[in-house]
Structure 1
Amino acid sequence: MTMNDTRSESGVLYWMPLAVMAVVTAVDLVAGPEVGFLPLVSLGPAFASLVGGPRRTALVGAAALVLCVGLGLYDGLFDGRRGFTALASVAGVTGVGLAASVMRSRREAELASVRSIAEVAQRVLLRPVPRTVGPLDVAVSYTSAVAEARIGGDLYEVVASPYGVRVIVGDVQGKGLAAVETAAVVLGAFREAAHDEPDLVRLGERLERSVAREVDGEKFVTAVLAEVGSDGEAVILSFGHPAPMAVRRDGTVEFPEPESYALPLGLGVHGPGGAKPYRIGFAPGDQLLLYTDGVTETRDEGGAFYPLAARARLLQDPDPYRALRALREDLLHHAELPPHDDAAMLLLRCRGDDRPPTR
């Protein structure tokens, strides 16, 4: 359902109380008191309580009571019980609708407060990455599988450390608030250790200890760490995460993989050894896309996975954010339906010293 559809439905509900009371009045005047439509005037305050606040519900209820009295006098219903019965039904529905409207307004205020706090927490957790850092242009894209949520179980961060530009992209097992909490643990440990540890392997060990200490044994995090210095190479450290996609200056696409895969963070204590770093060439003009499995495991209606390698041509735009936005839109078009998993993408573009930063 689109936003326009939602607004249309809200508009219909907003005017429905008045329309219902107008229809009941017209039918009562035409058909006479024998039909017994007068109690249906109570539908006005009932519908008003669905979308209106307490004030609007009270006004519509008061109008319904006045209308009920007027029609009752016109039809001569107050000579017997029918007029008072209709008046009591309208008053009762108005009272119940007013109470429901008050409760709904309070819940909406509480929900708005919770959303505001959640948005602040999300901005703190997934801070905006710098567009340029060292010799790199950086762009990031995040699509949450949870409706109206900005983050989920995927995580990313870029840190300019004394030892080079260090990057992490990870995927927490599971969804919901528990996954967000685990992502906060990983990001907090990475932001601290990225400045302290001169070796990328030691940095990975710090993350492993933090995850093992803070989360239970059933949680784990797949992650890939990258370190880009000034030597024309990038060092990659993978913890059970999909291999990054390297797009060379001439358009060649590669998925450099380690000789052996390590277990995800949180499960390293059960494995024979930790992750082993490996180096790849990363010269000016090259691009490195780090992503989560929500990208490559996105399926279309026919069950076909998203062909990431074939879509690498979409990253040719000179502006890295426009390039990554084109890739994200193509991913959503491939899915056709709302995504079933979070999808994070972080694009690193080696600018070199001879090219100005992207604005």
Structure 2
Amino acid sequence: MHVGQRVALLRQLWQSRHALVAIPLVLIIVITLVDIHSPESVHLGPLLVVAPAITTAFAGYWLTGLLGALAVGAQIIIAVLHGGLTTTNHMSQIIGLAILSVFAVIVCFVRDRRTAELAQVRSVSEAAQRALLRPLPDRIGPLHIACSYLAAEKEACIGGDLYAVARTGHRTRVIIGDVRGKGLAAIGEAATLLGAFQEAAHHHPTLPALAEALDRSVCRYLTGFPEADGEAQEHFITALLLEIPDHSTVSQVVHCGHPPPLLIRHGHVTSVTSPHPAPPLGMWTLRPEAHATHTFSFQAGDLLLLYTDGVVEARDRSRAFYPLEERLPLWAKSSPKTLVQHIEKDLLVHADGALADDAAILAIHRSPVPHTGFHVSDLVHGADFHDSVPRAGPVSHSSALHAARAGG
């Protein structure tokens, strides 16, 4: 938001508050005039308490106190002109109105203080989110990227979902994951995995080796959790690792208990499922041999959607899950940013604005790669791996498989 827009917004807010102040002022004047011109047996002065009560809805404690003082002053005027200031009825009305006005000021003071504390907490939360989930570049290599994070907690900005991208030579590695549980413990596990990924992605030549290294990091972190009530707590992270080479249409994915990505090609949506999924990170000791990759074709013009289970498990009022795969064809021709925005808005409408779990969305669109000797981002983001991509799954075309073996 530009400075001019902020000034205009503040001016509009100030003007709107000034317009609202007219309401209690008019009420004070009208009630005072009507009470003065009414018979002495009719007492409308107690209605003046509505002025400070209404002011608490849109103003701070200073303005509320001012309107309360005006209401008490109006009550004194009524008492002087309408039966006498020293009458028991008028004295009790003045004292009662003054006490209620003080209560209204106290309520405003406590509310404003809590609002300030909440704003401070939100600013810290936003800073923590920026540190934990660093903004992804709009473009990296041949990929256009857009992402979104929706926290389940209304006043929170972060949770246990995570995503990150690492550029390693002429390929891009992506991770998206979901930590079991919520709260500070989930954020700590997410931070551990993200830190391990950003480092290990540049040191392991194959995707299975990267997955194994991340599993070891998660296991080392989880050993620090104490047992609850004599039983071991279940801590794990579902994750999906993706490797997209620049000059080959054959991409690789390792499923670690995470929902499969959805591939959009020519308006059609297909699920990129693995025949041999691995357990979630932190649980590989149950199946140490399950670390195979699955290869699939990711061509220029394709769009790949990664997401956490908070998206597909969002329910509407009838307890029906969000039909992500059915909705995607409606926005198949959208750019990654527009697609993410459509999903985010539609998801919140489906869930009536209240998500039961954090939801992360990551859209990746592949554009053609110019045939040049090198890419500028390669000089910035790291050196190339001098290795070949191992054959880890079935491929439909022999030429694509040959490109994968050649380290495309």
Pairwise TM-score range, normalised by the shorter structure: 0.7 to 0.9
CA distance in 2, matches of 1:24, 1:109: 35
Contact 1:140–1:345 (8 Å) recurs in 2: yes
Give the TM-score of the pair, scaled to structure 2: 0.74
- Counterparts of 1:1-359 in structure 2, within 5 Å, are 17-147=24-154, 149-162=156-169, 164-215=171-222, 216=225, 217-229=233-245, 230-248=247-265, 250-300=266-316, 304-317=320-333, 319-335=335-351, 338-354=354-370
Taking a change above 3 Å as real, the CA distance of residues 203 and 340 of structure 1, as seen in their structure-2 partners, is same
The 3-state SS of whatever aligns with 1:224 is strand
Contact 2:148 2:360 in 1 (8 A): yes
CA shift at 1:236, angstroms? 0.7
Instruction: Give the gaps of 5 or more residues in structure 1.
Output: 1-6
Superposed CA RMSD in Å reads 3.1
2-structure distance, mates of 1:176, 1:22: 52
Number of residue pairs the alignment of both structures matches: 348
How many Å separate the matches in 2 of 1:224 and 1:98? 54
Moved more, 254-263 or 114-123: 254-263
Letter in 1 for 2:93: A
Partner-residue secondary structure (3-state), 1:185: helix
Q: Is the 8 A contact 2:264 2:332 kept in 1?
A: no
Offset, 1:67:
0.7
The answer for the alignment partner of 2:401 in structure 1 is: none
Deviation at 1:15, TM superposition (A): 5.3
> Any unmatched runs of 5+ in structure 2?
1-12, 226-232, 376-408
CA apart distance, 1:220: 2.2
Taking structure 1 as reference, are residues 87 and 302 closer, same or farther at Cα in structure 2, changes over 3 Å only? closer
Cα deviation 1:78-112 (Å, max 9, x = unaligned): 24322322222222222232233222222222211
Q: Is the 2:162–2:176 contact (alpha carbons within 8 Å) kept by the matching residues of 1? A: yes
Distance 1:85 1:305, change over 3 A: closer
* Cα distance change on mapping 1:23 and 1:349 into 2, 3 Å: same
Residues of 1 paired with 2:98 and 2:248: CA distance?
80
Say which SS state the counterpart of residue 138 (structure 1) adopts. strand
Secondary structure of the structure 2 residue equivalent to 1:78: coil
2-structure distance, mates of 1:169, 1:324: 15
Comparing 305-314 and 89-98, the one that deviates more: 305-314
Residues 1-31 of structure 1 deviation map (CA, whole Å, 9 limit, x = unaligned): xxxxxx9x99997555335434532442343
Question: Which whole-Å CA distance do the structure 2 matches of 1:148 and 1:111 have between them?
Answer: 8
2:404 equivalent in structure 1: none
Separation of aligned partners in 2, 1:309 and 1:54: 51
TM-score (norm 1): 0.83
Deviation at residue 269 of structure 1 after TM alignment: 3.6
Over 3 Å counting, the alpha-carbon distance change for 1:278 and 1:104 in structure 2 is same
Distance in 1 (CA, whole Å) between partners of 2:91 and 2:343 is 67
Contact 1:163 1:198 in 2 (8 A): no
Partner SS for 1:174: coil
Q: Tell me which residue corresponds to 1:3.
A: none
